[in-house]
Amino acid sequence: MATRRSAADKTPAGQLTEARLHDLIGYQLAQAAIATTAVYNREVFGPDGLRPVEYTLLTLIAENPEVSSARLAKALAVTKPNITMWVDRLEARKLLQRRPSPSDKRAVLLKLTAAGSRMASSATRRLLKGERDAMAVLSAAERALLIELLHKVARSRPQGPS
């Protein structure tokens, strides 16, 4: 397959031709991420000093109370030491707490503090509004469709016991 080519086949900035990259999902994801990162930096990193990983961790922990580091590492496709480092920082900021698991004495259960919970919620609210405003070219239906298609791509991720 080949999608329609047009004179608009230029990079959003710099005005370079990118016809050969047009059909590459990986490249187009990276270009789109430049836009969402700008929204993130304005709405969350600026006000709260939260890194994208930190925001994501807070939100996943909020929704999955007492989740373990190991499962978070798998969900985000990063290593365990990396999670340890971010959890250290979030704990130092008193946004979450570590508690020993009663059932498995190796495991550490993670739980947000009230402050962490509040910060995660307000960040989500600002992000949703920020993205909606910045990407007003997308209708509600188009946004929903985009999300579903991105889900399909994400689910194609190799699972494996890695």
Length of the chain in terms of residues written: 162
Q: Considering only residues 5, 7, 25, 80, which one is a binding residue for a second copy as defined by CB under 8 A?
A: 25
81 binds a second copy (CB under 8 A): no
Q: How far apart are alpha carbons 47 and 78 in whole angstroms?
A: 26
Residues 41-60 vs DNA: string with x where CB under 7 A? ----------x-x-------
76-135 positions binding DNA, by CB under 7 A:
77-88, 98, 101, 103-109
Helix (H, G, I), strand (E, B) or coil at 109: strand
Using left for φ > 0, alpha for ψ between -120 and 50, and beta otherwise, residue 66 falls in left
Q: What are the beta bridge partners of residue 100?
A: 108
Q: Considering only residues 5, 11, 80, 98, which one is a binding residue for a second copy as defined by CB under 8 A?
A: 11
Q: Considering only residues 85, 100, 101, 128, which one is a binding residue for a second copy as defined by CB under 8 A?
A: 128
Give 139 or 159: the residue with its C-beta nearer to DNA. 159
44-63 positions binding a second copy, by CB under 8 A:
52, 56, 59-60, 62-63
32 binds DNA (CB under 7 A): no
Interacting span for a second copy (CB under 8 A) from 80-88, 89-97, 99-107, 125-133: 125-133
Cα–chain center distance at 156: 17
Query: How does 111-124 read in b/e, with b if 16+ C-beta sit within 10 Å?
Result: ebeeebbebbeebb
Q: What are the beta bridge partners of residue 61?
A: none
Helix (H, G, I), strand (E, B) or coil at 110: strand
Residues in contact with DNA by the rule CB under 7 A: 51, 53, 68-70, 77-88, 98, 101, 103-109, 161
